[in-house]
């Protein structure tokens, strides 16, 4: 019995050393050293049982600064809980959440590298195309100017969405969406939450299908900046531009290629190859595009808040043949 207890104790003591090699590139205290209280978290059924063998990069996430559900502080705490080592916060057309996140990481001494990010809405051939800026300086005058324009466009679009919904028997949509958005710029996700609240649909997917997706009554054709304007502002801010979730635009293979070619011509750097949830061959196909067009590869959960099917840092890995967007980071 005493032997069994001693073997168990030795095993427990050795756990922090098992993975120490993998984490040397990411200095900071081990998770076990830090008392973190996470009262807001639901039970983490899908949390990994042990430290990951490799640092987890999650380069796409949202906070209450746009249409996410967690504060920046809650988001970085959850990222640590999920064993993420490098997190990019990429709110829609705003960098407003970044300062609080950085402050929380240093105040709580969290073992997490924050990448300053943004997800910029652009208009291309009548589609809303999202461009991620990774590693940007949020104070950059080019970025500040672009995001100020985007905020005005977002507000005008929200008013137009509300007008269209009003004509379709959905009253007070602007005030309803604004109540969900708070200080954040109004997104379609905020309208969707309001429509669910007043019983126009039973869930988010249904609301988009019925009212907010391309071609539906509440949809307003995109009037955002161009892809080139977004990429240029990202570069002037010292960051890299990644084409977000290329498979989510409902483009045929031919049109998706056109988009990628256009993005490359506009000096885009990377495409998002891995997400938490993808069709069986999607990741492989996106990796092929990355190779073919000499683009770096990114990965991200597009986490908006706790939900059953998606989590920070989960199921994210890149096929061997692509070059990760982070290859020159931390050098
Ligand atoms: P916007 O930037 O205002 O066009 O809003 C787009 C946001 O709406 C996305 O970032 C998602 O958070 C959300 N969204 C888009 N399509 C769907 C969908 N089918 N179901 C749930 N949320 C969606
Ligand atoms: Mn969103
Ligand atoms: Mn997006
Ligand atoms: Mn996103």
Give distance in angstroms: CA of 14 to centre of ligand 1.
45
Q: Which residue has the higher pLDDT, 17 or 120?
A: 120
Arithmetic mean of pLDDT, 14-31: 31
Give distance in angstroms: CA of 91 to centre of ligand 3.
9
186 Cα nearest atom in ligand 1: 3
Query: What are the boundaries of each domain within the chain?
Result: 148-212
CA atoms within 13 A on the CB side of 44: 16
Arithmetic mean of pLDDT, 59-70: 98
Least confident among 133-142, 285-294, 301-310? 301-310
CA-to-CA distance for 146 and 63, rounded, in angstroms?
A: 20
Give the phi and the psi of residue 64 in degrees, each rounded to 5.
-65, -10
CA-to-CA distance for 72 and 147, rounded, in angstroms?
A: 19
Q: State if pTM tops 0.75.
A: yes
CA-to-CA distance for 312 and 89, rounded, in angstroms?
A: 11
Give distance in angstroms: CA of 243 to centre of ligand 3.
9
Query: Are 227 and 263 spatial neighbours (Cβ–Cβ below 8 Å)?
Result: yes
- In the predicted model, is pLDDT for residue 15 greater than 90? no
pLDDT, tens digit, 9 for 90 and up, residues 235-257: 999 999 999 999 999 999 999 99
Question: What b/e sequence results for 178-214 when a residue is b if at least 16 CB atoms lie within 10 Å of its CB, and e otherwise?
Answer: bebbeebbbbbbbbbbbbeeeebbeebeebbebbbee
pLDDT for residue 54 = 82
128 Cα nearest atom in ligand 1: 4
Arithmetic mean of pLDDT, 81-108: 98
Site to probe by mutation for ligand 1, drawn from 70, 159, 187 as the one with most ligand atoms within 8 Å of Cβ, is 187
pLDDT, tens digit, 9 for 90 and up, residues 208-227: 999 999 999 999 999 999 99
Of the chain, the percentage scoring pLDDT greater than 70 comes to: 84
H or E element at residue 87: strand 84-89
- DSSP 3-state of 106: helix
Q: Which residue has the higher pLDDT, 275 or 53?
A: 275
pLDDT for residue 331 = 84
Q: Which residue has the tokens 């309208």?
A: 191
Give the closest residue (by CA) to ligand 1 atom 23: 189
Give the closest residue (by CA) to ligand 1 atom 11: 189
The yes/no answer on whether domain 148-212 falls in CATH 1.10.10.10 is no
CA-to-CA distance for 98 and 199, rounded, in angstroms?
A: 34
pLDDT for residue 280 = 85
pLDDT, tens digit, 9 for 90 and up, residues 186-208: 999 999 999 999 999 999 999 99
154 Cα nearest atom in ligand 1: 3
Query: Are 55 and 86 spatial neighbours (Cβ–Cβ below 8 Å)?
Result: yes
304 Cα nearest atom in ligand 1: 12
Residues with beta carbon inside 6 Å of ligand 1? 67, 92, 121, 128, 187-189, 204-205, 208, 304
Least confident among 44-53, 153-162, 321-330? 44-53
pLDDT-based confidence at 4, cuts 50/70/90?
A: low
- In the predicted model, is pLDDT for residue 329 greater than 80? yes
Question: What is the 8-class DSSP label of residue 246?
Answer: G
209 Cα nearest atom in ligand 1: 19
pLDDT for residue 309 = 85
Of the bound ligands, which one is closest to the alpha carbon of residue 187? Answer: 1
Give distance in angstroms: CA of 243 to centre of ligand 4.
11
Site to probe by mutation for ligand 1, drawn from 126, 188, 247, 301 as the one with most ligand atoms within 8 Å of Cβ, is 188
pLDDT, tens digit, 9 for 90 and up, residues 142-164: 999 999 999 999 999 999 999 99
Arithmetic mean of pLDDT, 41-52: 48
Give the closest residue (by CA) to ligand 1 atom 12: 189
CA-to-CA distance for 286 and 313, rounded, in angstroms?
A: 19
Q: Report the largest interatomic distance among the alpha carbons of the chain, rounded to a whole angstrom.
A: 77
Give distance in angstroms: CA of 214 to centre of ligand 3.
14
pLDDT for residue 18 = 31
Arithmetic mean of pLDDT, 40-51: 46
In 3D space, the residue among 275, 331, 280 whose CA is nearest the CA of residue 301 turns out to be 275
pLDDT for residue 87 = 98
Helices and strands: H and E segment counts in the chain: 11, 7
pLDDT for residue 19 = 30
Helix axes 98-107, 72-81, angle to 10 degrees: 50
Give distance in angstroms: CA of 62 to centre of ligand 1.
12
């Amino acid at each position: 019995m005493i032997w069994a207890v001693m073997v168990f104790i030795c095993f427990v003591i050795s756990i922090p050393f098992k993975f120490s090699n993998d984490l040397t590139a990411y200095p900071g205290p081990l998770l076990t050293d830090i008392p973190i209280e996470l009262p807001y978290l639901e039970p983490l059924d899908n949390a990994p049982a042990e430290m990951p063998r490799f640092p987890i990069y999650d380069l796409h996430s949202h906070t209450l600064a746009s249409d996410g559900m967690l504060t920046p502080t809650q988001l970085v705490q959850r990222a640590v809980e999920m064993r993420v080592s490098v997190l990019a916060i990429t709110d829609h057309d705003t960098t407003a959440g970044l300062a609080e996140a950085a402050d929380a990481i240093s105040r709580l001494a969290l073992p997490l590298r924050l990448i300053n990010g943004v997800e910029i809405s652009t208009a291309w051939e009548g589609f809303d195309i999202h461009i991620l800026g990774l590693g940007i300086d949020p104070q950059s005058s080019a970025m500040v100017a672009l995001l100020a324009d985007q905020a005005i466009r977002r507000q005008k679009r929200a008013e137009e969405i509300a007008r269209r919904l009003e004509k379709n028997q959905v009253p007070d949509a602007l005030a309803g969406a604004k109540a969900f958005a708070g200080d954040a710029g109004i997104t379609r996700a905020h309208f969707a939450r309001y429509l669910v609240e007043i019983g126009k649909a039973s869930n988010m997917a249904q609301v988009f299908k019925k009212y907010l997706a391309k071609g539906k009554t509440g949809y307003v054709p995109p009037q955002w900046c161009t892809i080139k304007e977004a990429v240029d502002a990202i570069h002037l801010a010292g960051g890299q531009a990644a084409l977000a979730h290329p498979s989510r635009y409902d483009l045929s293979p031919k049109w998706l290629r056109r988009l990628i070619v256009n993005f490359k011509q506009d000096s885009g750097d990377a495409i998002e190859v891995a997400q938490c949830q993808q069709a069986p061959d999607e990741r492989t196909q996106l990796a092929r595009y990355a190779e073919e067009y000499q683009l770096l590869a990114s990965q991200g959960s597009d986490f908006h808040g706790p939900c059953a099917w998606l989590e920070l840092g989960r199921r994210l890995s890149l096929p061997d043949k692509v070059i990760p967007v982070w290859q020159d980071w931390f050098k």
